[in-house]
Structure 1
C-alpha cells in the first residue's frame, strides 16, 4: 500500500468509528515521508511500502533502545493492521 492508501484507510476507520483519533496517531506518523534534505514529500501515492515490516523494524529498534512505550504503540498498530489485513475497500456494491 502507498502512504496515501494508508492515510485514506486511517480516515475511513476514524469516520466509521472503528478507530479513535488517538489510536490513529501511530499510523499517521507512518504516512509522512521525508527526503534526504529533511523536507517532506507529502502523501506519496506511487511508492509501495510494507508498513507491517516497517512496524516490525520499529519494534526491533525500540527493543534495542529499551523504549517500551514506543514498542507497545507499534505492537498495537501491528495488531490492528493484522486484524484488517485482506479487507476489501472501495467496492461499490450498489453499482
Structure 2
C-alpha cells in the first residue's frame, strides 16, 4: 500500500485482502497506514498458505526500497489503485 506514486510504502499480510484494504482506505486500522495515509493498493501477491505469505512478507520487508519499487513497477507501472480489481472479485 502507498499514499502516492513513489511515496511511503507499506507491506503487510492478510487472509482477507479486500476487507483489509478497505480498512486501510477508511482509516479504521490504526498504525502505520493511518499515520502515513497509505490508502492505495498498488501491488499484491497471493499465496497458498499463511505460512508462505508470512515468509514472503518478511523477505519483502528485508529488501531495499529499490527492490520494492521494482516489484510495483513490474506489476503496476502506472501505480493504479488495484482495490476495485479485488473488491468485487
Mark yes or no: TM-score above 0.5.
no
Question: What TM-score comes out, normalization by structure 2 length?
Answer: 0.32
* Greater RCO, 1 or 2 (C-alpha within 8 Å, sep 6+): 2
Structure with the greater alpha carbon radius of gyration: 1
Report which of the two has the higher share of helix: 1
Question: What TM-score comes out, normalization by structure 1 length?
Answer: 0.31
